[in-house]
A and B are shown apart, each in its own frame.
Chain A
């Protein structure tokens, strides 16, 4: 308990210390404010942003894109992962294609998706999906492959059919892998949304940051980044709550390595 408080204290100290250092260096002109801005002006910009109704429109658009990319991407990833793990023939046929697609840097797809799906939400969701899909896919596949063979044999002997094995053995066994991928997936979904917006859109957090960057407004860029940071932390926290509920059966040591 004491140790935990100590860690928390150091964590806060580190944050306050580095922000103070940044602020001081900017004030005494060791850092050029034009390039680096400073924490207090970023903070006041944040308050300005939060007071503007338009900000929430941008946020809700990014949120929608993130959520859609996350849901569609994980659903497809889990589905494909389960299917390929249980259908060795299909896996053999598709492996080189999966590897090839996964090797494409996703950013270069953004302009194509913009062409195909327009400047609106759809192109960002598509970009996010390509990022999220492969992550959940590989994790699900791995999770299914690591099913304990004795547990599997036992379930078979108890009379489990294909559907039962999927529901009562493969899925829960892969759940740890799937869920640990969900936390990274939510980050990827945000990346997909924001990068998509950044490269071509008329709304969203990425658009706000791109606009600020376009006029060399570093304070605006940092304010946008901070907003995004908080946004991702909240999403990550939500997923970790879900994770703890689903993985309640696990020994405490390996269940939730809490970072926040």
Chain B
């Protein structure tokens, strides 16, 4: 079991109710420092709601969120959030989007732009600094989004199906890109997805949520795959299929339930 001290994210008894509808009930999750945890569950089970609660963008109806040992009271500066939808500021260039967080935190504009340039290069967008989001492809926008968050050096990364809108090739590229960047300093990651393959390929641990309403944690699996990984190659290995079969055994029933509704 996880020691009390080193849980970066600790959720205890999280419930979320919207009127008479209970989306989440009694969700307990711990994410250790430096751990990459994927949260899977059928569509509509409240994964995004849960992530919004961790981000401080939504309040749980009951339960506690602890971040880095402290009770969370609202959006935390040590948390970075990569959204599913386009979340870039459409009126800012790629460079200024990456610099935005630093400027919000009071850094000098020139200084912020210099640092942003470094990150633009890091996510392979050299030459696109002065493009506006609408001039970038879906994958490029995600790269900007990633740089926008990582430049702030957050302790905890929250990701809400960030690559689900991308085509499959771009998606695999972005997943590898994410792993490469994550490998550099191993931040704590809570990654929400409905794609089990993606979850296993990326994460150290996969947590399974049941179909809503009243979704809760019904499975917690270590992913014993070596790093560094290549998300395209690793899917073909026996160890990957083995863990996939085990988790799918639980997830399948939940997916069926959510279809039946």
Contact = CB atoms under 8 A, between A and B. Distances in A.
A150 B87 contact: yes
A172 interface: yes
Given A150-B87, A151-B89, A157 B81 contact: yes
Contact of A250 (B85, B134, B152): B134
A239 B80 CA distance: 40
Contacts of B12: none
A214 interface: no
Contacts of B86: 150-151
Nearest to A247: B91
B51 to A, nearest CB: 11
Nearest to A254: B134
A159 B87 CA distance: 14
B124 to A, nearest CB: 22
B9 to A, nearest CB: 15
A175 interface: yes
Nearest to A161: B104
B101 A159 contact: yes
Interface residues of A, number: 21
Contacts of A157: 55, 57, 75, 79-81
A188 B185 CA distance: 59
A157 B152 CA distance: 11
- Chain B interface SS verdict (over half): loop
Contacts of B83: 150, 153-154
Nearest to B58: A153
A160 B104 contact: yes
A74 to B, nearest CB: 20
Nearest to A164: B104
Contacts of A248: 132
Given A158-B152, A159-B101, A159-B104, A153 B89 contact: no
B67 interface: no
Residue from the set A153, A155, A173 with the largest chain B CB neighbour count within 10 Å: A153
B148 interface: yes
B50 to A, nearest CB: 15
A169 B104 CA distance: 12
B88 interface: yes
B91 A159 contact: no
A239 B90 CA distance: 22
A249 interface: yes
Given A150-B83, A151-B86, 12 more contacts: A151-B87, A151-B88, A154-B88, A156-B57, A156-B75, A157-B81, A158-B100, A159-B101, A168-B104, A172-B89, A249-B90, A250-B90
Interface of B: 55, 57, 75, 77, 79-81, 83, 85-93, 100-101, 103-105, 132, 134, 148-149, 152
Interface of A: 150-151, 153-161, 164, 168-169, 172-173, 175, 248-251
* Smallest CB-CB A-B distances: 7 pairs: A154-B87, A158-B101, A172-B91, A159-B104, A249-B91, A157-B81, A160-B104
